[in-house]
Amino acid sequence: MDEQTGEIGGNEPNAPAKWRFSIDVATSWETTFFDSVTPNTRKIALRSAVVMSPDRGGIFEKLLRLVRFGLGGTSASGMQFVSWIYDADFLGSIDYLIARDEIDGVVNIASPNPLRNREFMKALREAWGSRIGLPAASWMLEIATFFLRSETELVLKSRRVIPSRLVEAGFQFQFPEWESAAQHLVRRWRATDQRYLATGN
């Protein structure tokens, strides 16, 4: 799915009706954004994938915690695509867009190489050095997300996003591949964890 040909929400006929909520919020926000009158102001609507950072409380730390405790296997079928972006690439892409007045409209902020959940979690386990990753069935995820006050959509919905406009404009990703990004993020997380232990925070 890229900016020109992508279909918002995808084409998942069996998706739960409640998954429509996030789609409706996003489309309503973009419509309002572009319809608002802002003379002489360039508008860019960012469609960002999940940002992978080793910072405390982020999605990467949550996924890594599953891996560390042997629970980082596939989610449901594992065939759903995961779109992601390395934190430095996220920040770099924002700076890149600010500096280029010729770019406006919708821009996808994501790695150019999404991959399936099965491969995504396998690469994260290998980066950590874990051989075991127990899978999670859909019903397990329903229970877990209920207690976390979240939605299974975040895990089960397939997102195969391609940042065509960034690529065509010449933006260079530091970490376009998840395997190398995961290894670097694990090293950064370990370094950060050691600093937390040293300071007692």
- What does pTM read for this prediction? 0.87
Find the radius of gyration of the CA atoms of the chain.
18
**Within a domain: residue 57?**
yes
* CATH number of the CATH domain containing 161: 3.40.50.720
Report yes or no on 195 lying in a domain: no
In order, the DSSP letters of 20-36 are: HHHHHHHHHHHHHHHHS
Cα 185–chain centre separation? 14
**Alpha carbons 124 and 68: distance in angstroms, whole number:** 10
**Digit-coded pLDDT (tens) for 67-107:** 999 989 999 999 999 999 999 999 999 999 999 999 999 99
Question: Does 95 map to a domain?
Answer: yes
State the DSSP code for 11: T
What average pLDDT does the segment 15-23 reach? 76
Residue 6 resides in a domain:
no
User: For 49-75, how does the pLDDT look when each residue is reduced to its tens digit (9 = 90+)?
Assistant: 999 999 988 999 989 998 999 989 999
